[in-house]
Amino acid sequence: MPAPASPSDLRRWLNRATFGTTPALLEEVQSMGWERWVAAQLAPDDKTDTDCQKRLNNLRLHIEYEVQPMAPAAAGAKAMMATQVAKKVNENRPLRLLHQPLEQTFPMYGKDDVNYEEKSLAMQEVMMATLLRAVHSQWQVREMLAEFWHNHFSVNADKDESVMLALPAYDRDVIRANALGSFRTMLQGVAQSAAMLYYLDGVESKASPANENFARELFELHTFGARNYLNHRFTKWRDVPGALEGKPEGYIDQDVYEAARAFTGWTVENGAEDDDGAKRPNTGRFMVREAWHDPYQKRVLGTEFDSQRPALEDGLRVIDLVARHPATARFIAEKLCRRFVSDDPPEALIKQAAAEFTAAFDAPDQIARVMKVILLSAEFRSAPATKFKRPLEFLASYLRATGADFAPRIDVVYQLDEMGQRLFRWPTPTGHPDTSGYWQSGTFLLRRWNLPLVLRDDGWKGIASFHFLTLTPADCTTAGQVLAYWSQRLLGQEVAEKSRAVLLQVLTDDDEANASSEFSGDDKDRDIRIASCVALLAASPEFQYR
Chain contacts with other proteins (rule: CB under 8 A): 201, 204-213, 216, 220-221, 226, 229, 231-232, 235, 253, 256, 388, 418-420, 427-428, 430, 436-438, 440-446, 449-450, 453-454, 456-459, 495-496, 498-499, 502-503, 505-506, 509, 525, 528-529, 531-532, 535-536, 539-541, 544
Residue 411 C-beta: closest distance to other proteins, Å:
11
Please choose, from the candidates 407, 392, 389, the residue with its C-alpha nearest in 3D space to the C-alpha of residue 466: 407
Q: Which long-range contacts (CB under 8 A, 24 or more apart) does 302-306 make?
A: 302/237, 302/238, 302/240, 302/242, 302/243, 302/244, 302/245, 302/246, 302/247, 302/248, 303/246, 305/258, 305/262
Residue 259 to residue 236: CA distance in whole angstroms: 16
Coil, helix or strand at residue 518: strand
Residue 453 C-beta: closest distance to other proteins, Å:
5
Q: Pick the closer one to other proteins by CB: 285 or 422.
A: 422
Residue 292 C-beta: closest distance to other proteins, Å:
9
Residue 464 to residue 42: CA distance in whole angstroms: 29
Q: Pick the closer one to other proteins by CB: 226 or 363.
A: 226
Q: Pick the closer one to other proteins by CB: 296 or 449.
A: 449
Neighbours of 83 (CB within 10 A): 10
Question: Per residue, what are the HEC states of 89-110?
Answer: EEEEECCCHHHCCHHHHHHHCC
Q: Pick the closer one to other proteins by CB: 441 or 516.
A: 441
Residue 85 C-beta: closest distance to other proteins, Å:
31
Report how far apart, in Å, the C-alpha atoms of 471 and of each of 61, 75, 275, 485, 532 are: 29, 60, 65, 10, 15
Residue 37 C-beta: closest distance to other proteins, Å:
30
Q: Pick the closer one to other proteins by CB: 185 or 532.
A: 532
Residue 311 C-beta: closest distance to other proteins, Å:
15
Q: How far apart are the first and last CA of the chain?
A: 26
Q: Pick the closer one to other proteins by CB: 98 or 463.
A: 463
Residue 436 C-beta: closest distance to other proteins, Å:
8
Q: Pick the closer one to other proteins by CB: 170 or 388.
A: 388
Instruction: For CA atoms 151, 152, 156, 162, give the dihedral sign.
Output: negative
Q: Pick the closer one to other proteins by CB: 209 or 310.
A: 209
Residue 336 to residue 435: CA distance in whole angstroms: 12
Residue 529 C-beta: closest distance to other proteins, Å:
6
Q: Pick the closer one to other proteins by CB: 139 or 153.
A: 153
Residue 195 · residue 166 · CB < 8 Å: yes
Q: Which amino acid is at 121?
A: L
Residue 328 · residue 224 · CB < 8 Å: yes
For the CA atoms of the chain, what is the radius of gyration?
26
Residue 403 C-beta: closest distance to other proteins, Å:
19
